[in-house]
Structure 1
Amino acid sequence: MLCFHCHEPVPDGSQFLLTIEGQAQPFCCPGCQAVAQTIVEQGLTDYYKFRTAPASKAGLVPDELKLQNYDSADVLTDITQHTAAGTQIELSLSGMSCAACAWLIEKQLSAESAIHKASVNSSTARLQLVWDADRLKLSAILKKIQALGYQANPFIADNEEQQEQAELRQFLKRLAVSGIMSMQVMMLAVGLYFGEYTGIEAQFEGFLRWICLLLATPVVFYAGKPFTQSAWRAVKAGQLNMDVPVTLAVFYTFFASVYATVFKTGEVYFESVTMFIFLLQLGKFFEFRARARARAATGNLLKVMPVSARLLGGGEPQIVSAKRLQPGDRILVQAGETIAADGLVRSGISSADESMMTGEYKAVAKRPGDTVLAGSLNHDGLLEIEVSQALPSSRLGQIIALQQQTLNQKPQIIEKTTRLAQFFIQRLLIIATLTFIVWYFWIDQERAFWVTLSVLVATCPCALTLATPTAITCALARLNRQGILIKNQQVLEALPKLTTLFLDKTGTLTQGRFSIARKVSFSDQWSETELLALIARLETYSEHPIASAFAPYLTPGDPLSQVQLHVGEGLSALWTSPDGQQRQLQVGSAAFCRCTTVEAAQVYCSIDGKLQLAVELDDKLRPETAATLVALHQQQLKLVLLTGDSSSQVEQLASQLPFDRVEKSCSPERKVELVQQAVQQGEHVLMLGDGINDSPSFHAAHVSVALDSGTDLSKNQADVVLLHSDLRQLPQLLSGAVLAQRVIKQNLWWAMGYNLLIVPLAVCGFVSPLVAVIGMSFSSVLVVSNSLRLLKA
């Protein structure tokens, strides 16, 4: 049986049916069924009568129809969140080429009174939108973005990967065309250049010029298309970006060379045009790869966010949106499916992969009464689960919410760069225009065209655009050789400005290998051994390094139910004690267990609100910690310790190390708050951590660094990963960034200084187009050569 929409085989047992013109038609998946239903409801059933080929899977719907689907109340419920400011959604953007694109989208959308916030993150190509859905439809907003030449869709990790692969293929094609054609044109140009000095017959010169024109045309109109489109979008919107002068110089030079070829007069510069486009494409490709890594880092956790669930009711299980599940609902999870919500197993035996949340790749056995986590994968059994937390309130949902809240805060550096670029471009175009007018009307009409061309070519921002990316690329390679993985290129600009380092304690400054140093019992009902075994059973649900300290005491015992992880505080569960009573068990900080602190103790256990046991743990410092912190402090950096530990051991540690400030008993929210306060006070902040509790504060800092020994989540969210898990790599990172920043400044000073020197000469007519091309090329080569020094450092 074939799907009525896409003609792919319908899986056995599939029950996706839709009545079309009185006849029930089968579909292979709910996506194809939904698309067909939309087509029928919109009165477009004739599409199925007159089509000549099957549709793509869940596709082939007009754009207008697709956008209208987003206005459905049910769909909006699934893809948006309601906040006090309005309806909020995250959109994935395609077609962006620089920070100016982000600024352009924000400016156009902010003009709408119904849109309260439009914030584009240019490194991840995502737009956070808050608007009044009652006044303005989502489809209208998407159309506005399309009118600017960009594509926007609700962010879905898998869809974004497909878009990224398609964009990568386009980049490689354009690089291949521009690179291959540039080499051919350059070889022919050598013959033309030497021919001018050694003599070349006119017919051969004309032949070589026509061949150059033939080879350069696909480079200009295909490989250079992204720059042309970006410039045109900016001009249509009444704005300027860096692609405007690039496009002007390319077409000005190209058509001047075409004129010289056709009329056999003047010089040709096809090799300059092709090489210019190739170098710019190469730079854009590096930027694209950097953005792809940033998107992957922020999208890994979103990929495990469940989409649908099988809801159990009176009859057959129904497929519903996972976001609509409520506590008390019962869902059926088949083998190989993602568990859609936090809950308790009511029937069935299986195992689950919880590695994304816990970092433990070993399958965890699941039986009736066991807790399951949203986003984990059911391996080999059929489970009936009672939902305990709605998806937004689940452990996974809370972490993602904190992550997205800090991720979408826009750094000021992007706005400053955009303003600087616009200032440069405006002055460049004004100078070129005035040059043409003055020469055409008052000096020499015949030379006006060529003098203006010299100005545009000589001052073309080639060296300026290569100054930063080439230096950053070389700096990244150098740091990678040292075992330092940079996932966000912007940190190289932020690192030299650092004033404050926020440091996590457990697993970061310490080795994260805990052992029990002392126990203080307050129980007259249970022994220390029984309490330690009870804590060990509860700690099996946590990935915190502290849990390993209790592993030796783990023994079989009475089952735990309704286990909940309270991030940064502890764990709680219902425990059926040997006397048959159900008791409330809490293990964590003193504040979480609502008890009085005991000197040096870090872990407390309470049963039914009464303190039973306090445990002091021992965790040794990493061997390199003291020397590293002393070296950092000598660099006039302020060191702040942020830890969830509330014991007196924090003060002991603070007395041994050169901290300027110590904050203990910190929840994830408190860490984010402290980092944000420092940023608001003008501090430039680095956050170093290794656990899930640290990941929300990573995006609040200017730079985030994780150890490779940390959790998968912390490494995914961090800007930098120290692959050797050695704190001595932190000073190496800072010194490498300072050196990279020095080279970038040298490149920029040279590029700007060269322009300041060459502009007056070109405007006065002392620089021919040939000399302008040579000067521009020399300037670019010098910038690249200077950047290559970083590889030898």
Structure 2
Amino acid sequence: PIPEPCERAFDEVNAEHIYADYIVTDGDTSTITLYLSQIHCAACVWLIERGLLADKAVMSATVNLAKKQLTLQWRTEVTKLTSLLLQLQKIGYKAVVLDPAVIATEEEKQHRQWLYRIGVAAFAMMNMLWLSIALYSGAEQGDFRQWFYWLSAVIATPSFFYLIWPFASQAYRGIRQQQLTMDVPIVIGVSVTYGYSCYQLLMASNGSQLYFDMVVNFLFIIIVGRYLESAARRQAIAKSEALIWQSPAIARVLTAEGQQMRAVELVNIRDRVLIKAGERICVDGIVVEGEAQVESALLTGEAQLSSVSEGDTVLAGMMNQQGYIIVEVTRENNQTQLAQIHQLIETAQQQKPYYQTLADAVVPKFVLATLLLAIMTAAYWTLQGQIEIAVMTAVSVLIITCPCALGLASPLASAIATGVAAKRGLIVKSGQALERLSAVQHWFFDKTGTLTVGQLQVEQYQVVLAEHYDEVLRAMSAIEAHIDHPIATAIEAYRQQYESALLPTVQDCQYYQGQGVTATVGQDNYIIGNAAFLSEQGVACSTDWCLSQQAATPANHSEIWVAKRGQVVAWMTLSDVVKTDAGEVCQHIQQQGMTVAILSGDRHRYVAAMSAQLGITEYYAEQLPSEKLAQVKAKQSDAVTVMVGDGMNDSPVIAEAAVSMAYASGSQLSTQAADIILLASDVRSTLFCQQLAKTMVKIIRQNQLFSLVYHLIMIPLAMIGWITPLLAAVTMPLSSLCVIINSMRLYRYAEKSK
């Protein structure tokens, strides 16, 4: 029910303060995600979204039916959140902040209300049963029998109005917004049965056409069914949440007075937190004391242990298996990598895939079709002179055609799939990504950091003039320090083996993605990159010295050249290690009828050797970013394509591909352009993600097919009178429960794929 005026006034006065911490403002727009405990079907979704979008200040309103969440974006200067909350209340829904404690309170309140109604319905149903037994046992004669009929009406009437209220109020609010929700057929069906029984009672019927017991029994079954459906849905989502959100809420902070237990939200940057053996790390920070063995399964899906000690970085979500460490906090709680993962998953689950959009469009029309079918059924049996059958068959049609199963078919499976993916170190950023991934026919893999480990090592370093050895190496290290790339890390690691002098100052550093870099060090202009890049810059790598170095380069090494003042002065080769599972994954992809290709900017000999090692026949070497983009566009014209890269040098290609995956680089996961972020370092996770996507789409189609077949079978049976209203009331929630149980098979798939 709509809150009283005093409650509205309280909300209006305090909402800006209560909700302020949950609003994200970006320029002139604000966004908030709210929890709605009262939504239960796709028609509710349609009603809320249409009602809010009628306000021109609202930019978007997206409801996640499976999680009962509303993501709202509006123009800050045009309207306030309080106005939108009041508008939402007028539609008939109360919103609360997305806080676990608040949500738990709201769910407990809803849980209690449903239990009260179940108790009332059960009490009335049992009393109606005793009256029926009395009638069958001899109280069926004369006025005495009529008193029993009136007593049935007395018990059924208050029960009817109390139990029907939540359905009737939602139906009324929907009609006010010119929308037929799924509560409308329920209210009409039960009300017609109750009204028909009252009419027969007042007309002194002999009792054969009184259905007061059916009204109570019917409402009991409907309420129990909705309660069980809600509980099952909540359990499915809770299991998905538990897979990805296991960070502890309390931190052991070290202060001048000793240890202090403090909520993680209240831990500040530069605070020091003690993590004991067996505890999960609750902050992102740097180890300042102690040693420990930690595993990162929650973050990456990989359970390998790694040692951390003073100076090492640790992340919230890691588990300390052995030892103790003191961690100095470097990020606020809402900026940790685990928090970013959670936010990305929430964003993905708020988006509507194709199958859900299709269902949301069908459901409103479905309700109208239900009413028309019920009217046609009643009219047919009335013309046959069967008034009682007309009432019962019309009620059965109204009840049995609930499209809740259709509305749940996609959002629940999608929510579970994203949770399962996160458990395996796969962060799905786009709600449509998994659907597209299920139809992929061609795979493009980047080389460095994707098929290889990405930990480059300098194997050879030569200079034209020996006296330039340290100077050029120092300049290379200084220039590469401005670039986030594995080559830069390798060069600096190599330099530190021989010297630790201060690096020179670099000016005018310009990075050319996937090719090289130019910069000024002192008075000298440097060019660092592959031979093609130097050639573009007007420097030819064709001297006898250059040709001899090229001839000495092993096939499985990368090479870079250094030019100073327009002349080649140095040459370097680097090696990398192919990931152990890369060949197996590429072979498996090809065995399933898909094609695989390597896209690389590296030299032809190196890429050809790696392709042969992995069993890949299609590869493209010495590719500029524009050429990589052209390759993806060409392939995508006749095949759904996925690009797997490192997320740093492949941004245009990643944006172009139908589906993109990128290995996580750095802590700012939200800046990754890819649809799916790979936290695990293996290649196998890409294949798991595609198999998960196929399974998800298969389950969604099964759910939708089940809903379609259910209605095609049950509606005709209800129209001819083979299904009673009570049986219809039983089968309606069972159809939704079947969809929920089928969607939860995704958990079983995840267990099998370990």
Give me the TM-score of the superposition, normalised by structure 2: 0.59
The CA deviation string for residues 167-223 of structure 1, in whole angstroms up to 9 with x for no partner, is 3542355357657986997899799999989998799x99x999999999999689x
What's the CA shift for 1:257? 11
The CA deviation string for residues 683-729 of structure 1, in whole angstroms up to 9 with x for no partner, is 6454434545668987876655556x865545996776777644334
CA contact (8 A) 1:493 1:741 kept: yes
Q: Does 1:765 align with 2:707?
A: no
Task: Report the counterpart of residue 580 of structure 2 in structure 1.
Answer: 623
What's the CA shift for 1:547? 1.5
SS of corresponding position for 2:722 = coil
Query: How many residues in Structure 1 have an aligned counterpart in Structure 2?
Result: 637
Residue of structure 2 aligned with 1:666, choices 614, 625, 630: 625
The CA deviation string for residues 260-317 of structure 1, in whole angstroms up to 9 with x for no partner, is 99x88342124422332123323653686699799999xx9xxxxxxxxxxxxxxxxx
Q: Does 1:431 align with 2:373?
A: yes
SS of corresponding position for 1:556 = coil
What's the CA shift for 1:463? 4.4
What aligned pairs does 1:289-438 form with structure 2 within 5 A after superposition?
412-436=354-378
Task: Report the counterpart of residue 749 of structure 1 in structure 2.
Answer: 705
For the structure 1 residues 282 and 700, does the alpha-carbon distance in structure 2 shift closer, same or farther, using more than 3 Å as the test?
farther
Residue of structure 2 aligned with 1:276, choices 188, 211, 225: 225
In 1, Cα distance between the equivalents of 2:375 and 2:530? 70
CA contact (8 A) 2:446 2:645 kept: yes
CA contact (8 A) 1:675 1:685 kept: no
What's the CA shift for 1:255? 9.9
For the structure 1 residues 139 and 276, does the alpha-carbon distance in structure 2 shift closer, same or farther, using more than 3 Å as the test?
closer
CA contact (8 A) 2:585 2:684 kept: yes
Q: Does 1:734 align with 2:681?
A: no
What's the CA shift for 1:590? 7.8
What's the CA shift for 1:254? 10
Task: Report the counterpart of residue 23 of structure 1 in structure 2.
Answer: none
For the structure 1 residues 438 and 582, does the alpha-carbon distance in structure 2 shift closer, same or farther, using more than 3 Å as the test?
farther
In 2, Cα distance between the equivalents of 1:777 and 1:586? 69
For the structure 1 residues 109 and 449, does the alpha-carbon distance in structure 2 shift closer, same or farther, using more than 3 Å as the test?
same
CA contact (8 A) 1:503 1:641 kept: yes
CA contact (8 A) 1:89 1:129 kept: yes
SS of corresponding position for 2:644 = strand
Task: Report the counterpart of residue 178 of structure 2 in structure 1.
Answer: 238
Residue of structure 1 aligned with 2:103, choices 150, 156, 167: 167
For the structure 1 residues 173 and 497, does the alpha-carbon distance in structure 2 shift closer, same or farther, using more than 3 Å as the test?
farther
SS of corresponding position for 2:578 = coil
What aligned pairs does 1:492-507 form with structure 2 within 5 A after superposition?
493-507=435-449
For the structure 1 residues 126 and 245, does the alpha-carbon distance in structure 2 shift closer, same or farther, using more than 3 Å as the test?
same
What aligned pairs does 1:15-30 form with structure 2 within 5 A after superposition?
none
The CA deviation string for residues 460-498 of structure 1, in whole angstroms up to 9 with x for no partner, is 2354456557766887898899x5757578655444322
CA contact (8 A) 2:381 2:389 kept: yes
What's the CA shift for 1:633? 2.9
Q: Does 1:553 align with 2:502?
A: no
What's the CA shift for 1:535? 1.0
For 1:174, give the aligned amino acid: Q
| RMSD over aligned Cα atoms | 7.0
What's the CA shift for 1:760? 1.8
In 2, Cα distance between the equivalents of 1:210 and 1:512? 77
What's the CA shift for 1:430? 2.3
What's the CA shift for 1:763? 1.8
In 1, Cα distance between the equivalents of 2:532 and 2:565? 15
For the structure 1 residues 277 and 516, does the alpha-carbon distance in structure 2 shift closer, same or farther, using more than 3 Å as the test?
same
In 2, Cα distance between the equivalents of 1:659 and 1:228? 63
For the structure 1 residues 406 and 543, does the alpha-carbon distance in structure 2 shift closer, same or farther, using more than 3 Å as the test?
farther
What aligned pairs does 1:22-41 form with structure 2 within 5 A after superposition?
none
Q: Does 1:633 align with 2:590?
A: yes
CA contact (8 A) 1:470 1:787 kept: yes
In 1, Cα distance between the equivalents of 2:671 and 2:432? 16
Task: Report the counterpart of residue 317 of structure 1 in structure 2.
Answer: none
For the structure 1 residues 471 and 605, does the alpha-carbon distance in structure 2 shift closer, same or farther, using more than 3 Å as the test?
same
CA contact (8 A) 2:458 2:572 kept: yes
What's the CA shift for 1:630? 3.0
CA contact (8 A) 1:495 1:703 kept: yes
SS of corresponding position for 1:770 = helix
> Which 5+ residue runs of structure 1 have no aligned equivalent?
1-59, 70-74, 154-158, 301-332, 338-350, 354-359, 366-377, 382-401
Q: Does 1:515 align with 2:452?
A: no
In 1, Cα distance between the equivalents of 2:526 and 2:636? 40
What's the CA shift for 1:429? 2.9
Task: Report the counterpart of residue 392 of structure 1 in structure 2.
Answer: none
For 2:401, give the aligned amino acid: T
> Which moved further from structure 2: 102-111 or 267-276?
102-111
CA contact (8 A) 2:156 2:212 kept: no
SS of corresponding position for 1:501 = strand
> Which 5+ residue runs of structure 2 have no aligned equivalent?
1-7, 140-147, 202-206, 248-267, 273-284, 288-306, 313-326, 331-343, 542-549, 551-556
What's the CA shift for 1:148? 5.2
In 2, Cα distance between the equivalents of 1:258 and 1:682? 66
Task: Report the counterpart of residue 399 of structure 2 in structure 1.
Answer: 457
For the structure 1 residues 407 and 650, does the alpha-carbon distance in structure 2 shift closer, same or farther, using more than 3 Å as the test?
farther
For 2:625, give the aligned amino acid: C
Give me the TM-score of the superposition, normalised by structure 1: 0.57
For the structure 1 residues 126 and 269, does the alpha-carbon distance in structure 2 shift closer, same or farther, using more than 3 Å as the test?
closer
CA contact (8 A) 1:283 1:466 kept: no
SS of corresponding position for 2:468 = coil
What's the CA shift for 1:680? 8.9
For the structure 1 residues 229 and 269, does the alpha-carbon distance in structure 2 shift closer, same or farther, using more than 3 Å as the test?
closer
In 2, Cα distance between the equivalents of 1:165 and 1:503? 44
In 1, Cα distance between the equivalents of 2:631 and 2:347? 14
What aligned pairs does 1:62-141 form with structure 2 within 5 A after superposition?
90-92=31-33, 94-95=35-36, 118=60, 120=62
The CA deviation string for residues 95-143 of structure 1, in whole angstroms up to 9 with x for no partner, is 495777776676567767788x64748599686869797x989998887
SS of corresponding position for 1:428 = helix
Residue of structure 2 aligned with 1:688, choices 609, 628, 644: 644
For 2:718, give the aligned amino acid: A
In 2, Cα distance between the equivalents of 1:136 and 1:453? 44
What's the CA shift for 1:753? 1.7
Identity %: 23
For 1:531, give the aligned amino acid: L
In 2, Cα distance between the equivalents of 1:515 and 1:618? 5
CA contact (8 A) 1:500 1:637 kept: yes
Larger RCO, structure (CA 8 Å, separation 6 or more): 2
What aligned pairs does 1:216-255 form with structure 2 within 5 A after superposition?
234-240=174-180
What's the CA shift for 1:237? 3.2
Task: Report the counterpart of residue 531 of structure 1 in structure 2.
Answer: 473
